[in-house]
């Protein structure tokens, strides 16, 4: 490998990437690991058009929130679609997943659990 070659340049087959993510999620749920994620471009920016709010990394700090919702949120992160919270910039709903951020017009219609509106005040974000 020469100096100009990076790990990203080497790539990973999509099926292998999916297998690795599934294994990570299974182990994370079994071990009750705290949810956290690091995003890379273009997923650093809020997915809502015109917002531009940047969150490159999140430690959700679910243990600091409502104890009754803790297990629901842990299951949503490790076994479900991800966690939905309002963007601190535009205040619209965003689905935070292992691979990206997605706009969510109505989380109730999508059957998603929603973090409290002040989730980002407890979480560590960068």
32 in a domain, yes or no? yes
93 and 85 Cβ atoms separated by less than 8 Å: yes
| 7-61 residue pLDDT tens | 344 588 889 989 999 999 999 999 999 999 999 999 999 999 999 999 999 999 9
65 in a domain, yes or no? yes
Q: Is the pLDDT of residue 2 over 80?
A: no
Q: Average the pLDDT over 61-89 and give the result.
A: 94
Segments of 7-121 assigned E as strands: 36-38, 57-59, 83-86, 93-96, 101-103
Task: State the chain's mean pLDDT as an integer.
Answer: 90
> What is the domain extent for residue 61?
12-125
2 in a domain, yes or no? no
DSSP codes joined into one string, the chain:
--TT--HHHH---HHHHHHHHHHHHHHHHHTTPPPEEE--TTTTB-SSTTT--B--EEE--GGGS-HHHHHHHHHHHHTSS-EEEE-TTT--EEEE-SS-EEE-S-HHHHT--B--TTHHHHSEE-
57 in a domain, yes or no? yes
pLDDT number for residue 66: 87
Q: Average the pLDDT over 61-66 and give the result.
A: 90
96 in a domain, yes or no? yes
Q: What is the pTM of this model?
A: 0.86
pLDDT number for residue 5: 32
51 in a domain, yes or no? yes
Read off the DSSP letter of residue 112: -
6 in a domain, yes or no? no
Which of the four pLDDT bands, split at 50, 70 and 90, describes residue 3?
very low
**Domain total in the chain:** 1
64 in a domain, yes or no? yes
């Amino acid at each position: 490998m020469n100096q100009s070659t990076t790990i990203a340049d080497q790539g990973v087959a999509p099926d292998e990437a999916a297998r690795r993510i599934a294994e990570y999620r299974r182990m994370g749920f079994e071990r009750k690991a705290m949810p956290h994620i690091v995003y890379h471009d273009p997923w650093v920016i809020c997915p809502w058009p015109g917002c531009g709010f940047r969150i490159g990394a999140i430690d959700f700090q679910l243990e600091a929130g409502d104890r009754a919702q803790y297990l629901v949120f842990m299951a949503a992160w490790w076994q479900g679609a991800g966690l939905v919270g309002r963007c601190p910039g535009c205040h619209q709903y965003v689905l935070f997943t292992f691979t990206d951020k997605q706009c969510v017009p109505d989380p109730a219609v999508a059957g998603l659990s929603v973090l409290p509106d002040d989730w980002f005040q407890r979480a560590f974000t960068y």
